Chain A
Amino acid sequence: MSENRQKFDVIIIGAGPAGLAAAIYTARAALSTLVIDESSAGGQVKITHQVANYPGFVESIAGHQLASNMRKQAEKYGTRFKLAADIISLHLSDQEKWVELDDEGKFTTEFVIIATGSSPRLLNIPGEKDYKGSGVSYCATCDGEFYKDKDIFVIGGGNSAMEESLLLLQFVKSITVIHQFDELQAEKITADKVTANPKVNILWSHEPRTFYKKENKMVVEAENLKTNKRIRLERDGIFIFVGLVPNSTFLKNTPIQLTKYGYIITGPQMETNIKGVYAAGDIRDKSHRQITIAVGDGTIATLEVIKHKLN
């Protein structure tokens, strides 16, 4: 274990909008602030094409630009960043808390704000990782044109699956939607546009169990959830849009209370069950997830930290 230790007034884990908003406030309050993220700054916002509903921007702004602006704003006030960092251990229970990073040593603090957000869910079935980028895709705008005049699968029936299907329909010859339920979960207006398209057919109540390649085709082995019978279908590619999962696996061996889905349970001031530990943004158990809400969460958590720090 490294002997290298640095103390900060606040450590924020997660550099999405919640974490960056929190950092802007703590840094402006002259609290030494460290933001840690396993990736780059921006969270889900940086992979959002355009953001049209963030107040203050009359014209929509590219998600990566908004994320970059937030990071620069936090940096301007003195926030330090450790990005692309791996947390190898975390201690939250005592008054002095610490986060240990691979190759970077330990960072200690009295206050931690967890703002790790969520990530697109993977199916985690055989073949998914093996064919990522060569038959399996997660982005219509990025990879749709590779499938021009091809037959594809779309896995999922929620809003993202249907919105991405509408984009894919501009390129592909046909879409077979594989969905686990008997009806689509997407907003009716979007779902109707997809289902009305003659190039679309839907395989209801089925879940993919494995992907593999047969010559140039991707094969999906899917199970009928009502009969448990499996079928095999071939197409040119597979697009997966099956929602989001909270980035909370690193909290597994900590005393932080999570819901059964892995979201952090918080009170109205973003406090968790551990004194000095707050959670903000999409990692929280709540009903709505928006950039503006994440920013609000980060601000509330920070104001609480500032209040306790000054007392």
Chain B
Amino acid sequence: MLQTNLGHIESKEQLKELIKNNEKVAVCCGRMGPMCIPVYDIFEILQGNYPDIQFRDTDFDISAAAMIKGLPECRKFWGLPYTIYYRNGKVVKATPSIQTAKEVKSVINEVFT
């Protein structure tokens, strides 16, 4: 399990439920590595600022992550973490690799406002 203060997604069912029951969902899928940790941290900070968005993480190496790895948007991703933004159950944006707070906020403004 990832050592973060975010809610963790631990099964495919949990992810399905989350995106079904919430309009705005952001999921960071990675490991406890140098490119992923900054994105989890930024999610932790931003979840206080955007209460209408569900911020979660999921371990890249568990079966729940297969739902993310298998997305067409992620087919060409070769860099952790994979960060997926869902709106009304659909993927509206996906980014690979490390992102700055500015980049994450810019995506949020683009797809969720």
Interface residues of A in 132-171 (CB under 8 A from B): 132-139, 141-143, 146-147
| Chain A residues within an 8 Å CB radius of B34 | 47-49, 63, 139, 141-142
| Chain B residues within an 8 Å CB radius of A135 | 78
Cβ of B38 and Cβ of A142 under 8 Å apart? Answer: no
Cβ of A134 and Cβ of B79 under 8 Å apart? Answer: yes
Cβ of B97 and Cβ of A64 under 8 Å apart? Answer: no
Cβ of A139 and Cβ of B78 under 8 Å apart? Answer: no
* Stretch binding the partner chain, chosen from B12-20, B21-29, B85-93, B100-108: B100-108
| Chain A residues within an 8 Å CB radius of B41 | 39-42, 46
Cβ of B79 and Cβ of A86 under 8 Å apart? Answer: no
Number of chain B residues whose Cβ lies closer than 8 Å to a Cβ of chain A: 30
Cβ of A46 and Cβ of B38 under 8 Å apart? Answer: yes
| Chain B residues within an 8 Å CB radius of A65 | 3
Q: Is A52 an interface residue when CB atoms closer than 8 A count as contact?
A: no
Given A46-B41, A47-B37, check contact A143 B78 (CB 8 Å).
yes
Q: Is B8 an interface residue when CB atoms closer than 8 A count as contact?
A: no
Q: CB-CB contacts of B40-66 with A at 8 A, as 1s and 0s?
A: 011011100100000000000000000
| Chain B residues within an 8 Å CB radius of A63 | 34
Q: Is A233 an interface residue when CB atoms closer than 8 A count as contact?
A: no
Q: Is A62 an interface residue when CB atoms closer than 8 A count as contact?
A: yes
| Chain B residues within an 8 Å CB radius of A221 | none
Cβ of A137 and Cβ of B78 under 8 Å apart? Answer: yes
| Chain A residues within an 8 Å CB radius of B6 | none
Contact of B79 among A39, A48, A64, A143 (CB under 8 A): A143
Closest to B46 in A: A84
| Chain A residues within an 8 Å CB radius of B37 | 46-47, 64
Given A38-B101, A86-B102, A146-B79, check contact A134 B96 (CB 8 Å).
yes
| Chain B residues within an 8 Å CB radius of A134 | 76-79, 96
The list of the 9 closest CB pairs from A to B, nearest first, reads A133-B96, A133-B79, A133-B97, A40-B41, A47-B34, A84-B101, A146-B78, A142-B33, A142-B35
Q: B residues near A, CB below 8 A?
A: 3, 30-38, 41-42, 44-46, 49, 76-80, 95-98, 100-102, 104-105
Question: Could you jot down 20 A-B contacts, CB within 8 Å?
Answer: A38-B100, A39-B38, A39-B41, A39-B101, A62-B32, A64-B32, A64-B37, A132-B79, A133-B80, A133-B96, A133-B97, A134-B78, A134-B79, A139-B79, A139-B80, A142-B80, A143-B35, A143-B97, A146-B78, A237-B78
